Amino acid sequence: MNVIAERIADFLKQYPPFNNLSIEELTIVATSIRVVNIEKHKTLFRINDVLHDSFYVVASGVINLSVISDAEETLLNKCVEGDVFGLRPFFAKNNYMMTAKAREESVVYAIPIDTFRPFVAKNAEVLNFLLESFANNSNNPEDRQNKGKLLSDHVVYTGGSQSEMQYFQSLTYNKMPLKSFVNTTVRDAAQLMTDNLMDNLIIVDNNHFPVGIVTDSDMRSKIATGRVPITATVDKIMAAPVLAVPENVSLAEAQLLILKYNVSHLCVTQDGSDKSEIKGIISEHDLIVAQASNPGVLIKEIKRSQDAKDLKKIRAKLSDMIQTSINKNIPLSHISNIAGEINLALIKRSVELAILDMGSPPARFAWLSIGSQGRKEQLLLTDQDSILVFEDVAPEKYRDVKDYFLKLAKRATSTLEKIGYPYCPNVHMASNILWCKSLSDWTKQYENWINTPGEKSNEISSIFFDYEIAFGEIKIEEAITDVIFRNASRGKLFFDYLGNDALRKPPPLSFFKKFNVEEEGANENKFDIKTRALMPLIDGARLFCLSLNIKGINNTYLRFKQLAMTDPRHSEIYLNCAEAFVILSKIRTVEGLKTESDGQFINLEELSKVDREKLKNALAPMKDLEELIKARFQLTQFS
């Protein structure tokens, strides 16, 4: 192997996927590589160009990847040393969907597809690396620290960066920034950055307040050019002052600041100013990584998905986003709203894929998510609940129409189960013959539940009164709502039934204010936060909204907020319940994410003293709610 090829091989083996190749394979790749020098602002390939016979690795410099959005060129990503891009020739026949342009004078290695393809075919790690990146527009799936990143040119830019959802979306960034002092020499700073594989160094004062930042770009433009000697101190080349942000900065806020001030990094500090301790550093690359999990982007990906496998990957991204958002203290009500929209989009696509398999439906219909999905409170992968309502058809067509929708529902619920939503243990699903029927049948069903409650108590479930349309005709959902509220207005027995059902839930605390925990079984000594804490609040909010004719609000938190306005005499109780619901939901979600479960059972021993007190305090409003239910509906706990 010649000296140049040897140097290229040494460079490549630092980065995936090349670190999965043997020395012999690396030698073959390195000797086939073409070195391409690209002048500043010159283009390697453009959108709609015919595909090249190579893909590329950045050897030095910076390559910008951009797309056209709303007639403007929009920067999607920056590729730096070790980044792989231009993968489209591997997996697609149509032309490039991005433009690759040098941000500065750059060198890239062109690796012939024909030379590299045999190693992909026989090396699962290399193939998975390239496939996962190309399919998901993800960065290096093997390395969350982004040391050697893989950047896809498959993505379709979706815009909408200033949407409400993205405004609150949180960021993952480096919480252990590299720091040094103003009297550090440039030579020492460069060595420090090299040793730690970092492209930036925060310069701090004696209080550890950030006063400046040095980046690779500063080293290239000020030191490599000879403008400043390597023996100088870093204050001669650092950018100052820094742009500081608080720890809970959102994606959109960070993007706006970077664009507005034309900087490449933001310093995260304790109070969001440069007069407090440095806590982290946000790079432009962090913003690109966050874009991949933008809720708007996820919904676009859902619409393009072709099977359950695609949808499962997107649901995993949602779980990551929920975890990150909770860590950043994003308001839970907002997280629930985002998660609810994405969950509904996943359900809708599951129904659409079933229709694509089976052909057009024989009648109009509505797929309604019920229970926690219908309330947009499903932050964890809990079981699916749904009903299907199809329009009334001629009697002779009824059986065939119902058969079609039952088959459709079985396909859709099967897809949802593969995504990660378990089948409902009580079979409250559209695939159950009981819960897939015509509008007239559903009208009778709701009328029976409301007018003769308890007659067939094993059939009634209050979750059927929490619903949200996921797919189909909105007028069918509206018809169900009209039936419910028309009958509920004269349904004293119904409210007695629901009220007593709410009061029957086992109390969360004992007479001596101790937590009531499970006494036996797999969850012995654990606290059932769902049954003892959340369900009484959910039941109470539903009961009062139905009795006060409040339509169109299914979410428990929003129901309590609306009740505070509709029934101002008891607003304090409702607002306290709203706050309690958020606290309890967060505790359950954190537990579920930690244990990869539905979070229903809390190990109190693992809670800190502060969290145990927070949990206990959140249970206090439930007593007031219980008394209000008894007074309003003239009930006792034993009626």
My answer on whether 277 and 364 are in the same domain is no
Q: Is residue 302 part of a domain?
A: no
Residue 259 confidence (pLDDT) above 80: no
My answer on whether 334 and 411 are in the same domain is yes
Q: What whole-number percentage of the chain has pLDDT above 70?
A: 87
Question: How many domains is the chain partitioned into structurally?
Answer: 4
Mean pLDDT of 138-143: 36
My answer on whether 136 and 44 are in the same domain is yes
Pairing of strands 278-283, 365-370: unpaired
Q: Is residue 376 part of a domain?
A: yes
My answer on whether 134 and 283 are in the same domain is no
Q: Is residue 11 part of a domain?
A: yes
Helices assigned H by DSSP within 262-331: 284-291, 295-304, 308-327
Q: Which comes out higher in pLDDT, residue 248 or 141?
A: 248
Q: Can you give the pLDDT at residue 217? A: 87
My answer on whether 543 and 447 are in the same domain is no
My answer on whether 142 and 172 are in the same domain is no
Q: Is residue 273 part of a domain?
A: yes
My answer on whether 479 and 518 are in the same domain is no
Separation between Cα atoms, residue 534 and residue 465, nearest integer Å: 17
Q: Domain residues for 552? A: 495-633
Q: Can you give the pLDDT at residue 137? A: 37
User: Could you read off the pLDDT of 91-113 as tens digits, one per residue?
Assistant: 666 688 788 999 889 999 999 98
My answer on whether 129 and 262 are in the same domain is no
Q: Can you give the pLDDT at residue 72? A: 53
Q: Can you give the pLDDT at residue 169? A: 56
**How confident is residue 133, by pLDDT bands cut at 50, 70 and 90?**
low
Mean pLDDT of 479-495: 90
My answer on whether 341 and 476 are in the same domain is yes
The domain boundary residue, chosen from 487, 511, 527 = 487
My answer on whether 471 and 444 are in the same domain is yes
Q: Which comes out higher in pLDDT, residue 171 or 519?
A: 519
Q: Is residue 375 part of a domain?
A: yes
The domain boundary residue, chosen from 122, 156, 190 = 156
Residue 250 confidence (pLDDT) above 50: yes
Q: Can you give the pLDDT at residue 1? A: 60
The CATH number of whichever domain residue 352 belongs to comes to 3.30.460.10
Q: Is residue 504 part of a domain?
A: yes
* In contact, 186 and 233? CB cutoff 8 Å: yes
Mean pLDDT of 233-256: 83
The domain boundary residue, chosen from 487, 503, 538 = 487
User: Could you read off the pLDDT of 326-385 as tens digits, one per residue?
Assistant: 876 777 877 887 888 889 999 999 999 999 999 999 999 999 999 999 998 988 888 999
The β-bridge partners of 437 are: 389
Q: Can you give the pLDDT at residue 230? A: 92
Lowest mean pLDDT among 150-154, 233-237, 247-251, 287-291: 150-154
My answer on whether 190 and 132 are in the same domain is no
Q: List all residues 6 or more positions away from 429 whose beta carbon is below 8 Å from its beta carbon.
A: 384, 385, 386, 409, 413, 423, 435
Q: Which comes out higher in pLDDT, residue 540 or 133?
A: 540
My answer on whether 138 and 12 are in the same domain is yes
Q: Is residue 9 part of a domain?
A: yes
User: Could you read off the pLDDT of 148-204 as tens digits, one per residue?
Assistant: 344 444 333 333 333 444 444 557 788 999 999 999 999 999 999 999 988 899 999
Dihedral over Cα of 593, 595, 601, 603: its sign: negative
Lowest mean pLDDT among 63-77, 242-256, 603-617: 63-77
* In contact, 629 and 570? CB cutoff 8 Å: no
Of residues 301, 326, 331, 333, the one with CA closest to residue 315: 301
Is the pTM here over 0.95, yes or no?
no
